[in-house]
């Protein structure tokens, strides 16, 4: 499954992550265990990190300059761009 959220600015990431967490918990009865991201500041700020910690979510980051570490996301990104 894929969920796509179009954001105007990166500061919306924190709210979207919290809303997505509620959606998964409510609609599917599941907990998010791990989130993998690049080293973008929108994921590494204190607010997002506190949310991950409070909810027991492990936050993994990829090494800088290695998009191949996130192959699934890169392929999905390419697919979405080709569709549009």
9-46: per-residue pLDDT in tens?
999 999 999 999 999 999 999 999 999 888 888 888 99
Q: Check: CB of residue 59 under 8 Å from CB of residue 81.
A: no
**CA nearest to 49, candidates 17, 20, 2, 8:** 17
The answer as to whether 42 is a domain residue is yes
pLDDT, position 84: 83
3 domain residue, yes or no? no
Domain that holds residue 60: 11-83
74 falls within a domain: yes
Question: What CATH number does residue 75 fall under?
Answer: 3.30.420.10
Write the pLDDT tens digit of every residue in 40-82. Answer: 888 889 999 999 999 999 998 887 777 666 677 778 888 888 9
pTM of the complete model: 0.79
Q: Report if residue 1 sits inside a domain.
A: no
């Amino acid at each position: 499954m894929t969920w796509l959220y179009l954001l105007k600015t990166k500061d919306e990431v924190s709210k979207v992550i919290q809303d997505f967490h509620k959606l998964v918990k409510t609609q599917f009865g599941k907990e998010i265990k791990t989130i993998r991201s690049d080293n973008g500041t929108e994921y590494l700020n204190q607010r997002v990190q506190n949310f991950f910690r409070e909810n027991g979510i492990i936050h993994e980051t990829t090494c800088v300059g290695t998009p191949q570490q996130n192959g699934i996301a890169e392929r999905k990104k390419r697919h979405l761009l080709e569709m549009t």
